[in-house]
Amino acid sequence: MPIERPKLGLVCEGDFRALRGAVEGVVSVLNRDAEVVFKPAQLPWAEHGATVEVNGAAIGVAGVVSEKVAGVFDIKDLSPVAAEVCFDDLAKLVGGPIGVRPIPRFPAIVRDLSIVIDEPVAWSKVADAVWGRAPEELERLDFVTIYRGKGVPSGRKSVTLTLRFRDADGTLTHEAVDEMQNRILDGLKSGVGAQLRAI
């Protein structure tokens, strides 16, 4: 007989970032130290999909529901996004002592980048290239989405990522962040052959 495993399902309309935040929030409640990574993946029901990994282990999937699948369920004028996470894997997450950090005194600067890379390049390689050239002010790196289509050559894909910079000792200027961003872009060019996508 097939093994049936309980799953936690999440669905919302059109905002993959909100869906991702919900998944990260559930994991964070169970274990604040757990690392959640969304790795781009091909899913039969998704236009753009990702595998959800926690501490290096796959626990579920998430994606933007394709028009074909939405049509089967007679969903019109909406762009649903969905995630499915193994409930048993969530239940196994055990948190350690909770560390406390002061509320940041200075604001962050957030930059979105869209880069064009070869189709086989995995998100993990992109992340390694970013962190390999990242200054200490880079506080966070997030995957946003993948685009294939007009303006992107065949055999390549556009990956959008978000960089969040913050200096614990003072307010960053946009000029300083420009230099940091350029350093990261140089690392992406040499590391994964990335080109900045003109939008």
The CA distance from 154 to 152, in Å, is: 7
To the question of domain 109-196 being in CATH 3.30.70.380, the answer is yes
> Structure pTM?
0.58
- CATH superfamily for domain 7-91: Bira Bifunctional Protein; Domain 2 (3.30.930.10)
What the block records as the tokens of 24 is 């990260």
CB-based contacts of 167, cutoff 8 Å, min separation 6: 106, 137
CB distance 94 to 31 below 8 Å: yes
- pLDDT above 70 for 78: yes
- pLDDT above 70 for 96: no
- pLDDT above 70 for 146: yes
Q: Where are the domains of the chain?
A: 7-91, 109-196
- pLDDT above 90 for 135: yes
- pLDDT above 70 for 95: no
Phi (first) and psi of residue 24, to 5 degrees: -60, -35
The CA distance from 180 to 187, in Å, is: 11
In this prediction, residue 98 has a pLDDT band, given cuts at 50, 70 and 90, of low
What the block records as the tokens of 129 is 């290239």
